[in-house]
Amino acid sequence: MANGLCDNLLLATYLSARCKVYFAPAMDLDMYKHKATLDNIKRLHSFGNLIIHPGNGELASGLFGEGRMAEPEEIISFLEKEFSKDLLLKGKKALVTAGPTYEAIDPVRFIGNHSSGKMGFAIAEELAAQGAEVTLVCGPNSLKLNNTDITRIDITSAEELYNASVKAFKTADLAVLSAAVADYKPVSAAKQKIKKTEGSKNIELTPTKDTLAELGKMKKKDQLLVGFALETNNEVENAKVKIKKKNLDLIVLNSMNDKGAGFKKDTNKVSIIDKNNKTIKFELKSKTEVAKDIVNVIIKGLSPKK
Ligand code: CTP
């Protein structure tokens, strides 16, 4: 009775599965060798299902022979090999920048922006899901990574982001710079907290180092460089200027004028423009879906040119 119920549940799950199904059979040795079983295995293969072969050993009946279910470690290692073999970014190294940077005014105050880092984190996760070895350089944020294989480098200032990114880019195949880097920083940060008794103040600002522009200068033929542009007006024209100026392969444009797009949101609406000005416009989507679109375009850009 219990087995019947279990079989029915298994059958219902199997028949509803739209994905590839792997099966790891376990049965007594004579059952496993029976023509009915062998025919059924062939049939499952013909549906595109894959067997994880049973091993030799002690069986539930007390007999010894073929039919013992593969050990859990063997099943996992089989599946790991299976899933990684079609990954399109296997063997590629990727650098991603994400989040804001904070430029210190004094020990308690800074110049920053509203970036949450969500877009960059989603891109890092998607690149890793496609098999890339990812280094994520990120400014202050409260996000956690799901994929523990991603190397996370936490930084605070534009200068730290620059140093970490320049180092990682030397060995990278591709880089996606989605961080909202402060363009200016105070010429010098006060050592002590500035007191309001000091009266009115002017803070002298100086430009920060532009990491994306530097990577554009460093870029070798086989490296792919993707920048972001967040614009409020003349969006496409401004983005196209940035592609040329910073020697990019692709730029991801998001406009502050689109509802649901931009800082802190879980959604984004982007256009991706390449160096030949070919533009693909996407609908408003979750940042996870936007990351998939961006990574798909990157994969096409990395494919050998015909
Ligand atoms: N960027 C960077 N380092 C900086 C400034 C920007 O790496 N110091 C990168 C961003 O991560 C983004 C791209 O440059 O990928 C464009 O950033 P954006 O702020 O839109 O443009 P800017 O080049 O800073 O120009 P402007 O602010 O004048 O539009």
Render pLDDT for 240-255 as a digit per residue (tens, 0 to 9).
999 999 999 999 998 7
Nearest to 178, CA basis, from 220, 211, 217, 129: 211
**What is the atom index within ligand 1 of the atom nearest the CA of 212?**
7
Tell me what pLDDT residue 191 has: 96
Give alpha helix (H) positions in the chain: 2-16, 29-33, 35-46, 72-85, 118-129, 158-169, 211-218, 235-245, 287-302
Enumerate residues 6+ apart whose C-beta is below 8 A from 306: none
Tell me what pLDDT residue 1 has: 45
Phi, psi angle pair for 99, to nearest 5°: 85, -175
Average pLDDT over residues 267-284: 94
Average pLDDT over residues 192-200: 90
Render pLDDT for 2-58 as a digit per residue (tens, 0 to 9).
567 777 878 888 999 888 899 999 999 999 999 999 999 999 999 989 999 999 999
Tell me what pLDDT residue 153 has: 98
Residue 306 has pLDDT above 50, yes or no: no
In short, whether 229's Cβ falls inside 6 Å of ligand 1 is yes
d(CA 177, CA 249): 12
Structure-derived torsion over alpha carbons of residues 39, 49, 80, 27, reported in degrees to the nearest 10: -30
Average pLDDT over residues 179-198: 95
Average pLDDT over residues 277-286: 94
More confident residue, 181 or 303: 181
Which of 210, 235, 254, 256 most suits a substitution to test ligand 1, by most atoms within 8 Å of the C-beta?
210
Tell me what pLDDT residue 304 has: 54
Which of 242, 246, 272 most suits a substitution to test ligand 1, by most atoms within 8 Å of the C-beta?
242
Average pLDDT, the chain: 92
| Domain limits, the chain | 27-85, 93-186+205-305
In short, whether 228's Cβ falls inside 6 Å of ligand 1 is yes
Render pLDDT for 123-173 as a digit per residue (tens, 0 to 9).
999 999 999 999 999 999 999 999 999 999 999 999 999 999 999 999 999
Render pLDDT for 285-302 as a digit per residue (tens, 0 to 9).
999 999 999 999 999 988
Enumerate residues 6+ apart whose C-beta is below 8 A from 165: 95, 97, 137, 175, 177, 211, 215
Q: How confident is residue 231, by pLDDT bands cut at 50, 70 and 90?
A: confident
The token duo for 49 is: 């299902």
Average pLDDT over residues 80-89: 84
Average pLDDT over residues 59-82: 91
Tell me what pLDDT residue 265 has: 84
State which fold the 93-186+205-305 domain adopts.
Rossmann fold (3.40.50)
Active site residues: 113
d(CA 302, CA 269): 23
Nearest to 172, CA basis, from 209, 218, 118, 120: 218
Tell me what pLDDT residue 142 has: 95
Least confident of 219-223, 244-248, 257-261: 257-261
Q: How many residues does the chain have?
A: 306
Give 183 Cα–ligand 1 centroid separation in angstroms: 7
d(CA 182, CA 112): 7
Q: For residue 284, give the 3-state DSSP assignment.
A: coil
Average pLDDT over residues 201-215: 96
For every residue of 91-104, DSSP letters joined together read T-EEEEEESB--EE
Q: What is the pTM of this model?
A: 0.79
In short, whether 208's Cβ falls inside 6 Å of ligand 1 is yes
Tell me what pLDDT residue 194 has: 94
H or E stretch at 152: strand 151-154
Tell me what pLDDT residue 257 has: 77
Enumerate residues 6+ apart whose C-beta is below 8 A from 244: 275
Measured at the CA of 263, the angle between CA 110 and CA 201, to 5 degrees, comes to: 25
Residue nearest (by alpha carbon) to ligand 1 atom 4: 210
